[in-house]
Amino acid sequence: MSNHNHYALIMAGGEGTRFAPLSTPERPKQFLNLIDPKKSLLQQTYARLNKIFDKDRLMVGTNRRHLSLLQEQLPEIPRENIFDEPQKKNTAPCLAWVTRHVWRQNKKALIAAIPADHFVAKASPFLKCLETALLKAQESQKIVLIGMQPTRPSPEYGYIHLPTATFVEKPDRQTAERYFREGNYLWNGGIFVYPAVKMLELFERHQPEMFALLQSAASMDAFFEKAPSISIDYAIMEKTKELMVLPSSFVWSDVGTWDNLAHLAKHHSLNLSPEITKHFPQRARP
In tens, the pLDDT along 99-155 reads 999 999 999 999 999 999 999 999 999 999 999 999 999 999 999 999 999 988 989
Per-residue pLDDT band for 286 (boundaries 50, 70, 90) equals low
Coil, helix or strand at residue 52: coil
* C-beta separation of 214 from 97 below 8 A: yes
pTM, 2 dp: 0.95
pLDDT of 1 higher than 70: no
* pLDDT of amino acid 110: 98
First-to-last C-alpha distance (Å) of the chain: 42
* pLDDT of amino acid 170: 86
Q: For domain 6-149+188-255, give the fold.
A: Spore Coat Polysaccharide Biosynthesis Protein SpsA; Chain A (3.90.550)
* pLDDT of amino acid 13: 94
Q: Classify each residue of 82-111 as buried b or exposed e, where b means 16 or more C-beta atoms within 10 Å of its C-beta.
A: bbbbeeebbbbbbbbbbbbbbbeeeeebbb
Q: Per residue in 251-283, pLDDT tens?
A: 999 999 999 899 899 989 898 989 999 999 887
CA angle 107, 47, 88 (to 5 degrees): 65
pLDDT cut 90: percent of the chain above it? 84
* Residue extents of the structural domains in the chain: 6-149+188-255, 257-286
Residue type at 254 in one-letter notation? D
* pLDDT of amino acid 277: 93
